[in-house]
Each structure stands twice: as C-alpha cells, then as structure tokens.
Homo-oligomer: A and B are copies of this chain.
Amino acid sequence: MNAQSGVHDLIAEYCECIDEDRLEAWPELFADPCRYLVISRANHEAGLRQGVMYAASRGMLLDRVFSIRRANIFEPHRYRHVVGPTRIKSADQGVAVVHTHFLCVRIMHDGATSLFASGRYLDQIDVITTPYRFKERIVALDSDKIDTLLAIPL
C-alpha cells in the first residue's frame, strides 16, 4: 500500500465511522493496546497525560461505545468532521507520525448546527500491517472550554 494513501484512508474512515454513527466499527481502527486521548492543547503542551476522554485498548474504546448506546441520557446529536491539511511528519520503524487539522460541527436533533470543536489529531500510525491502525491518537483541542455534552468521541 502507498503509505500516504493508507494514512489518508485511515483518517477518513475514522471521520466516517463517527459521523455516520457506525461507532461499533470505530475501535477497530486502533491497534490493541493503543492510546486514545482527548485533551486540551494547553494541557497537552504542559505535559499532562490525562484528558476528558481516555482509552488504552480496543476494549476500553468499545466500552465507551456501549455506554453511549445504552445510557442515551444526552440529547441526540451528530458530528460532521472536516480535516486538512494532513502532514506526515516522519515514518520510522513502521510508525508514521501524522498531524491533521480538524474542525467538528455538531448537529442537534432539531437541526441546529454549531461549530463544536477545533484542533489537531496527533497520530502515531502503524504502517507495517495493513490496513493501517492508530497506535496512538491524541485529539488536541484548541479550546479549554470542553462542552459537557462530550459523549461521542471526537
């Protein structure tokens, strides 16, 4: 597989899984074990390792999906991600380091749409086995003001 195209496919499939509500397929995009962390940029730059969402394995990612499906305590909503530019910063020893700008808008059940989040995906992607998988995805949010409605992964 062409490395660049494999990386772009993985990033696109990630957006599509979430935005099209195929959440059960989302954990499969990660290696196992893995590291998934949603954190504010400021906290990430300060070296903090705890954020507003965290998982270290596919099982933990799947648990989150189950709790979204079961609990259903939040007002139904969906996301739409747009991404770009994407940069492959390095690719050594089978791991590509990839940074991608993203915007995410949130669409509430009544159709109200708003800019929900912006930031960068800071990824370490296993590019040895195909299809490619995230060894690590850090979602570095530009804003410290994380919406309390953060239930669906970003």
With A16-B99, A115-B114, A118-B113 as given contacts, are A83 and B84 in contact (CB-CB < 8 Å)? yes
With A15-B101, A16-B99, A101-B81 as given contacts, are A118 and B107 in contact (CB-CB < 8 Å)? yes
The answer to whether B11 touches A112 (Cβ under 8 A) is no
Query: How far apart are the CA atoms of A101 and B143 in the complex, in Å?
Result: 23
Q: Is A153 an interface residue (CB 8 A)?
A: no
Q: Is A92 an interface residue (CB 8 A)?
A: no
Q: Is A111 an interface residue (CB 8 A)?
A: yes
Interface residues on A, range: 35 or more
Q: Is A105 an interface residue (CB 8 A)?
A: yes
Q: Is A75 an interface residue (CB 8 A)?
A: no
Tell me the chain A residues, 74-102 only, with Cβ under 8 Å from chain B: 78, 80-87, 99, 101-102
Q: List 9 A-B pairs, minimum CB-CB distance, nearest first.
A: A111-B145, A12-B85, A111-B143, A80-B118, A107-B142, A111-B144, A84-B84, A12-B87, A105-B118
Chain A residues proximal to chain B, CB less than 8 Å? 4-5, 8-9, 11-13, 15-16, 19, 78, 80-87, 99, 101-103, 105, 107, 110-115, 117-120, 142-145
